[in-house]
Amino acid sequence: MKVDGQDIRTIWLDKDKTVVKIIDQRKLPHEFVIVDLKTVDDAITAIKDMYVRGAPLIGVTGAYAVYLATLNAPGAHIDPDYLATEADRIKAARPTAVNLSWGVEQVMSAIARQTESEKKIEAARIAAGAITEQEVENCRKIGEHGRSLIEQISRQKSGKTVNVLTHCNAGWLACIEHGTATAPIYAAFDHGLDVHVWVDETRPLNQGTRLTAWELGKHGVKHTIITDNAGGHIMQHGMVDIVIVGTDRTAVSGDVANKIGTYLKALAAWENHVPFYVALPSSTFDWNIKDGINAIPIEERDPDEIRYVQGVDHNGATSVLICPPDSPAANFAFDVTPARYVKGFITERGICKATEEDIKRLFPEKE
Amino acid sequence: MKVDGQDIRTIWLDKDKTVVKIIDQRKLPHEFVIVDLKTVDDAITAIKDMYVRGAPLIGVTGAYAVYLATLNAPGAHIDPDYLATEADRIKAARPTAVNLSWGVEQVMSAIARQTESEKKIEAARIAAGAITEQEVENCRKIGEHGRSLIEQISRQKSGKTVNVLTHCNAGWLACIEHGTATAPIYAAFDHGLDVHVWVDETRPLNQGTRLTAWELGKHGVKHTIITDNAGGHIMQHGMVDIVIVGTDRTAVSGDVANKIGTYLKALAAWENHVPFYVALPSSTFDWNIKDGINAIPIEERDPDEIRYVQGVDHNGATSVLICPPDSPAANFAFDVTPARYVKGFITERGICKATEEDIKRLFPEKE
């Protein structure tokens, strides 16, 4: 994607193929810092300390971490026990991230098919690269399928600005390129459609304000930050044409777990006849869960994420207490939007309704 | 109300009757500072710079400002032209605040009925005090009527904790005592009912986090701060028994203008069968407006209220930028909740449905 006119991804292998480059996302939007990952420890720190975040990006970082393990293996031959230990260390960096284990295992399998060290290194690099390209391709396809929805609205509005509302950051920063919820927006923009994005700030961690606003701005897409409170009002007044959000886990029944606050936007969209879409690679479907509201566990995070806000003042980056020092807070990280409020899913294979039947029409191998 | 065991109001006349005392609410919750108003200029600064906020409190401060004008009048006799000029200056401190003009006019009328300076001063003091007590009494009655709702839920739950959700600060800090939305909560608490309050932080200005959490905590009421995003999730999971909010203006048809985000909570309450009540003194009804959504103008405020967050760090009070420096933001300050989502109004005369017919049953003089 574009950053100050340059094409960039969230992760890439440097020309000499010994250094993995990432954006230190902790510093956004106030600083744009590229960090070199040269060792497994570098990669573990990047994953654990959230230099990188977002399921696809964490998976790819894990994959490249295994490649770094092969590069830095001690001795002339790569010891399988050494590699297995390193793989376990990488997977433990964020133990609940399914994509991380998956990315690591994919590269480990590719290595296991080789015997010579040079071949193992090459196989790891090719496998990590292939995972990367697969993620990019999934997001690109989501973008193409979702673009058709924006084009249709644009035609209905005779080319006038299409207003999209999104929540949290399901952007290219969470992926490699394109993003999930943002992919249709970028695809529409790159095709010359007039598109404007309402960016929910997404309390408590402000992923909208910090990340979505930054990446849209850098790519040149018109956008406006609003408080999470404002979505109902602007939908009521016809200022939103379509809502597109991402998801952390989606039940095969169509219930959608996503960042806390998504459910409130879905209710407002339903009430005001605004189509509410969820963009996702099919890896995000949970094929076993039929009742999202009762079966998807909702993480409660540290209340201090609410009590303190990160930002910059004249002294630089800081964190400010915004409530009475003794007031308790509860930090529910996700909520579940019932399938009936979801107009459709935008997947890499096309668009489907939020019903088990229609999801499995696109993914018949899951029957 | 209680602050660290002491009974306190938001405004009061000092014992020697020459100084008006207020809480400097700009410094809450990090500092509790009481400020002396000795002159009209002091009072104008307090109103204009928002040491005091909330319609009832602004009205009472304006009333006492006129009293200060009589006290500080130059010469032996109080010149009516001097008083009229001072009254205009006070009313101009926040020109859109209807209660401010009303409070000033009430005291000016009382003064006009007197001829001697001493009598004018006494009349001003008595009138300002009467307005104060009227506001307190309205809030007390709202509290008593609303308490019956909480008592009923408490009985249905066999005395288990009643969970109330509120948005913004319609608390005693916006009034003199009790508050409006908080009045039923304090009344229930003071009667020994087990009550807990979910406090919406209320972006962008965080009135929930800064003021509601502070006043509930100081009075000893159990409460938990949540992000504005969380209300849907906790209602979906049965963690809210009743929603009570305030209002800035309510159409006679029952449509409710209140702090941005109220509408989203009303939708979630409706969806999850949680009763949604609005507490208000009848002065907040707009008897001329039948279509709240289209007829009530929604103020757009400075986007920097979203882009910067106030708080304290190790260097003291500061304001931090939370978004890219060039990202635009839109700051809609209020929204309108359609009457059909409102279970009822809690007024000083009792509880009524959100219909013109039932509102006028309580206020037949408005027919």
Other beta carbons less than 10 A from residue B297's beta carbon = 8
Helices and strands counted in chain B (H then E): 13, 20
Delimiting residues of CATH 1.20.120.420 domain(s) in chain A: 2-134
- In angstroms, what CA-CA distances link B353 with A145, B272, B348? 47, 19, 14
- Whether A269 and B243 have beta carbons less than 8 Å apart is answered as no
Phi then psi for residue B204, to 5 deg, are: -90, -20
- In this predicted structure, what is the pLDDT of residue A315? 94
Burial A34-50 (b: 16+ CB within 10 A, else e): ebebeebebbbebbeee
- In this predicted structure, what is the pLDDT of residue B367? 84
Least confident of A25-29, A191-195, B94-98, B233-237: B94-98
Are the Cβ atoms of A264 and B263 closer than 8 angstroms?
no
Element (H, E) at B20: strand B20-23
- Percent of chain B residues topping a pLDDT of 90: 93
Which among A163, A206, A323 is the top mutation candidate for probing chain B, defined by the most B β-carbons within 10 Å of its own β-carbon?
A: A323
- In this predicted structure, what is the pLDDT of residue A36? 98
pLDDT category, B154, cuts 50, 70, 90? very high
Distance from CA of B328 to the nearest CA of A (A): 5
- In this predicted structure, what is the pLDDT of residue A362? 97
Delimiting residues of CATH 3.40.50.10470 domain(s) in chain B: 144-366
Question: Which residues on chain A are in Cβ contact (under 8 Å) with B291?
Answer: none
Global confidence as pTM: 0.95
Structure letter (DSSP) for residue A230: G
Q: Which chain A residue has the Cα nearest residue B336?
A: A233
Structure tokens at A98: 């399914």
Q: How far apart are CA B95 and CA A37, in angstroms?
A: 59
Are the Cβ atoms of A229 and B261 closer than 8 angstroms?
yes
Q: Does domain B2-134 have CATH number 1.20.120.420?
A: yes
Distance from CA of B66 to the nearest CA of A (A): 34
Q: Which among A209, A259, A293 has CB closest to B323?
A: A209
Burial class (CB in 10 A: 0-12, 13-18, 19+), B342: buried
Q: Give the residue ranges of DSSP H helices in B204-248.
A: 207, 213-219, 231-236
Give the pLDDT mean for B188-199.
Answer: 98
Distance from CA of A168 to the nearest CA of B (A): 11
Structure tokens at B128: 């300002």
Pairing, β B2-3 against β B6-7: antiparallel
Other beta carbons less than 10 A from residue B75's beta carbon = 8
**How much is the mean pLDDT over chain B?**
96
Dihedral sign computed on CA atoms, order B55, B61, B64, B69: negative
pLDDT in tens, A298-356: 889 999 999 999 999 999 999 999 999 999 999 999 999 999 999 999 999 999 999 99
Give the pLDDT mean for B131-152.
Answer: 98
Question: Is-catalytic flag, A81?
Answer: no
Given the residues A200, A241, A248, A255, the one annotated as active site = A248
Helical packing angle, A117-156 and A55-71, nearest 10°: 160
Structure tokens at A81: 């026990």
Give the pLDDT mean for B76-91.
Answer: 96
Distance from CA of A105 to the nearest CA of B (A): 35
pLDDT in tens, B16-25: 999 999 999 9
pLDDT in tens, B318-349: 999 999 999 999 999 999 999 999 999 999 99
- In this predicted structure, what is the pLDDT of residue B29? 97
Structure tokens at A317: 């980056």
- In this predicted structure, what is the pLDDT of residue B298? 87
What tens-digit pLDDT sequence spans chain A (367 residues)?
A: 999 899 999 999 999 999 999 999 999 999 999 999 999 999 999 999 999 999 899 999 999 999 999 999 998 899 999 999 999 999 999 877 778 999 999 999 999 999 999 999 999 999 999 999 999 999 999 999 999 999 999 999 999 999 999 999 999 999 999 999 999 999 999 999 999 999 999 999 999 999 999 999 999 999 999 999 999 999 999 999 999 999 999 999 999 999 999 999 999 999 999 999 999 999 899 999 999 999 888 889 999 999 999 999 999 999 999 999 999 999 999 999 999 999 999 999 999 999 999 999 999 999 8
Task: Provide the β-strand partners of residue B163.
Answer: B196
Least confident of A192-201, A288-297, B275-284, B303-312: A288-297
Are the Cβ atoms of A330 and B224 closer than 8 angstroms?
yes
Burial class (CB in 10 A: 0-12, 13-18, 19+), B221: buried
- In this predicted structure, what is the pLDDT of residue B95? 79
ipTM of the complex: 0.94
Residue-by-residue DSSP string for A108-169 = HHHHHT--SHHHHHHHHHHHHHHHHHHHHHHHHHHHHHHHHHHHHHHHHTTTPPEEEEE-S-
| Rg, chain B, Cα only | 21
Are the Cβ atoms of B335 and A230 closer than 8 angstroms?
yes
Q: Is A316 left (phi over 0), alpha (psi -120 to 50) or beta?
A: left
Whether residue B206 is predicted with pLDDT greater than 90 in this model: the reply is yes
Structure letter (DSSP) for residue B192: T
Q: Which among A229, A310, A332 has CB closest to B264?
A: A229
Task: Provide the β-strand partners of residue B242.
Answer: B164
- In angstroms, what CA-CA distances link A194 with A236, B79, B277? 22, 64, 41
Closest CA to B72 of B43, B38, B123: B38
The architecture of the domain spanning B144-366 is 3-Layer(aba) Sandwich (3.40)
Are the Cβ atoms of A229 and B311 closer than 8 angstroms?
no
Phi then psi for residue A127, to 5 deg, are: -65, -45
Are the Cβ atoms of B267 and A264 closer than 8 angstroms?
yes
Q: Which chain A residue has the Cα nearest residue B223?
A: A328
Distance from CA of A71 to the nearest CA of B (A): 38
Are the Cβ atoms of B313 and A312 closer than 8 angstroms?
no
Structure tokens at B246: 């305030």
| Rg, chain A, Cα only | 21
Phi then psi for residue A124, to 5 deg, are: -65, -45
Are the Cβ atoms of A217 and B318 closer than 8 angstroms?
no
Given the residues B248, B286, B302, B326, the one annotated as active site = B248
